[in-house]
A and B are shown apart, each in its own frame.
Chain A
Amino acid sequence: MMSKTLGIVFSNMHDATMGKITENRTMGSVPFGGRYRLIDFVLSNLINSGIQDVGIITKSNFQSLMDHLGTGKEWDLSRKKGGLTILPPYGRHEATYYRGRLEALGSIYSYIRESKAELVVMTDCDNIASVDYADVIRYHREHDADVTVIYKNKPITKSIHRDVITISMDENKRVNGALVNPESTSGNVLLNMTVISKRLLEKIISDATSANFYSFTQGILQNSNQRLKIYGYEFKNYVADIKSLQSYYDCSMDLLNPEIRRQIFPADRPVYTKVRDEVSVKYGINAKAKNSMIADGCVIEGVVENSLIFRGVKIGRGAVVKNSIIMQGAVIGENSTLDCVVTDKDVMIRDSRTLVGCKEYPLYIEKGTAV
């Protein structure tokens, strides 16, 4: 069954809301969870659901994404049939820099048409959760749905109040309306994961091209919910909804909760990522760590508390890192103090520096900065 499903990943959607973190990378290549990029969770969900044919739509800044994905072998997507396909913009002669989801799909129309799949799973990279699409597809078939959208009933905080779409449904979970950035403080928030039959998707794309509309939300969820059978699939487990630096920070800190960690990293549904051949973490004689996630290749000589430390970070003697996210390759000098800081890749904090943000407004240090 699943071999007849095509996965399509939108790697650039929501870039605009993330500020400097996505200045030189796609949403999909945003580092998350110590040793991953957001797209790792998305791809692993597809693989773990038996979907081995995946196209990744890119728009801009996708060099780091391509570098990360390579041939896809680490996700077992280096296949003779199907496997990983990166779909850059301007794939067709007349294609333009897409404005919306349907236009993006329009530019890969031939890729979709040539696929042997019956169903298509489309997903963005902003909602991080362990999702079993096999279950969603079962639901889709049981309801004889044209389109199934995954949602979660949850609060809409200020930190995610960008690009939020909520849906309303009748008692049978059939979608009868959708709102973009609603005023309410909670609702059935779309996780931007959709199951649709390939044939219908092809038709929607060609209609959209001829009618010149490009928004899936507007064109389908809002204007066609009478004509199409659109159903909502409720997802109940934890979802990290990453829409801003603040929600990125909050969701990262959520991973320190054991129950949330179990839901994001279930033992039987591994999250795959690029292998970097790092050494195990080495703790020095004066090292102290508590309530922290620490990835391989780190050398910890100082103190780490309530923090996420990515691969290959060095924390010097006497340094204190608290409530912070330290991305790959950073060097934190001796006797420095960091509290509520997010350092992007390869940041260098010299000895005896003090950097303090606050939990409601973490301090972000750009990639490659020396402080």
Chain B
Amino acid sequence: MLLAGGQGSRLYALTRDIAKPAVPFGGKYRIIDFPLSNCVNSGIDTVGVLTQYQPLQLNEYIGNGQPWDLDRVHGGVYVLPPYQKSSNSDWYTGTANAIYQNINFISRYDPEYVVILSGDHIYKMDYSKMLEFHKEKKADCTIAVMEVPWEEAPRFGIMACDEDHKIFEFAEKPKQPKSNLASMGIYIFSWDKLRKYLEEDEANPDSENDFGKNVIPAMLANNERMYAYAYQGYWKDVGTIDSLWEANMDLLNPNVPLDLYDDSWKIYARNPVMPPQYVADGAVTRDAMISEGCIVEGEVDFSILFPGVIMEKGAVVHDSIVMPGSVIKAGAVVEYSIIAENVVIGENARIGCRPENVEDKENWGVTVIAKGIHIGKNANIPAKAMIEQDVLEVGSDDE
């Protein structure tokens, strides 16, 4: 069960009209491709995707599941929005409530175990190994954890475990963390137990119907068998502009252990129907990822261009992400920015700024241009700006 209904409000303009899991990532993917591909590669062939916030693009993207080999005769991928019931119809009020409202869906498959995932993390993980661990420990609930730097621990759900990996304490965003084992938002439950706790949680009017805040603490309080499954490898929550930018840039870093070229664990995506990219005479493509359909006449350095991006002569993109179909016109300079889909950056415009060129270092940040925005000629968009409306052309340079 893949939780994909969140708004992703900390991605601001990027999730104005698409759900966070549908945000483009890493050249030709969307965030949801990672958990979906992990499922398929782990041998999970029935996946429910719970949607709520701005689901149109996500629905269209998932379609019949064919790109992930999830167009199955038995099982496959199902998009599960909230729906009307004979009594009390409601939006999904929390992560646990979303699963609660789909108890009937899950029961149709009569599973022994249910894997709960979130649609906003970038990582590669074999859930079947975690399930083996769950079975071996005869656990009721297994939570995937990883070590995080101590200073970051207060941002996560933190587990305290004994030597057998049994969890004895769980604290959601603790001020004084007792360990640095953070929950990755990946749970395996034995279905009978989960069902019981979901029903109890729903009956409790004070509950926020959230796994981290309510269901997990309730299970712990009742001494259920809860285990922590230690994950080692690359994992990144891409819930903020900075972390989204960083996670993209990580793909260009040879020292980051997220190998997209590993044939045994491919990340699948709905592929664009476009010709190969064309790199013109005079272009610079250094330390970059560039996708199909791009036409590069300018300079790309330490950046990611998504499919169908057009860069005219003299355009410069440094340390940036340019999402599908955007056009960077001649002479425009884009630095430390995220350019969303189908944006047009006018001639000689300047977008974003490198940190060393900013006086007020505290207020430096990645610049974001929202989907479909047109930035006029010669316009200057400062660092950390978030542009959600067209910006008009500015008089020419020699004024």
A271 and B268 alpha carbons, distance in the complex (Å): 21
A281 and B291 within 8 A (CB): yes
From B308, which residue of chain A is reached at the shortest CB distance? A267
For chain B, residues 267 to 306, give those with C-beta under 8 angstroms from any C-beta of chain A.
Answer: 267-269, 271, 273-292, 300, 304-306
Cα-based distance from A358 to B276 in the complex (angstroms) = 25
A293–B287 contact, CB under 8 A? no
Bound together, the chains give a CA A289 to CA B305 distance in angstroms of 15
* Docked CA distance A268–B136 (Å): 55
Q: In the complex, how many angstroms separate the beta carbon of A166 from the nearest chain B beta carbon?
A: 31
Which of chain A's residues have a CB closer than 8 A to the CB of B57?
Answer: none
A279 touches B282 (CB 8 A): no
Separation in Å of the A260 CB from the closest CB of chain B?
A: 11
| B83 lies within 8 A of chain A by Cβ | no
| Interface residue SS majority, chain B | loop
Chain A residue numbers with a CB within 8 Å of B283 are 289-290
Decide if A261 touches B278 in the complex (CB within 8 Å). Answer: yes
Do the beta carbons of B276 and A293 come within 8 Å of each other?
yes
B28 within 8 Å of A (CB atoms): yes
Q: Determine whether B260 belongs to the interface, using a CB cutoff of 8 Å to chain A.
A: yes
Q: Is the CB of A35 within 8 A of B276?
A: yes
CB of A282 within 8 A of chain B?
yes
- Evaluate contact between B288 and A283: CB separation under 8 angstroms: yes
Given A277-B266, A283-B286, is A34 in contact with B275 using a C-beta cutoff of 8 Å? yes
- Asked whether B281 lies within 8 Å of A265 as measured between CB atoms, the reply is no
Closest chain A residue to B290, Cβ basis: A281
Q: Does B239 contact A (CB under 8 A)?
A: no
Q: B157 on the interface (CB 8 Å rule)?
A: no
| A41–chain B nearest beta-carbon distance, Å | 11
With A287-B286, A289-B285, A291-B281 known to touch, is A280 a contact of B27 (CB < 8 Å)? yes
- On chain B, the residues within 8 Å of A284 by CB distance are 286-287
Bound Cα distance A290, B296 (Å): 9
Q: Which of A60-68, A157-165, A223-231, A294-302 contacts B (4 or more CB under 8 A)?
A: A294-302
Complex contact A289–B279 (CB within 8 A):
yes
0/1 interface trace, chain A 233-272, chain B, CB 8 Å (1 if under):
0000000000000000000000010100100010000111
B240: CB under 8 A from chain A?
Answer: no
A249 to chain B, nearest CB (A): 17
Beyond the given A283-B286, A290-B279, please list 6 additional residue pairs across the A-B interface where CB-CB is below 8 A.
A35-B292, A265-B275, A277-B266, A284-B287, A294-B278, A295-B276
Where the two chains meet, the residues of A that have a C-beta atom closer than 8 Å to any C-beta of B are 33-35, 73, 256, 258, 261, 265, 270-272, 275, 277, 279-297, 299-300, 304, 308-309
Interface positions of B (Cβ within 8 A of A): 26-28, 66-67, 252, 260-261, 266-269, 271, 273-292, 300, 304-306
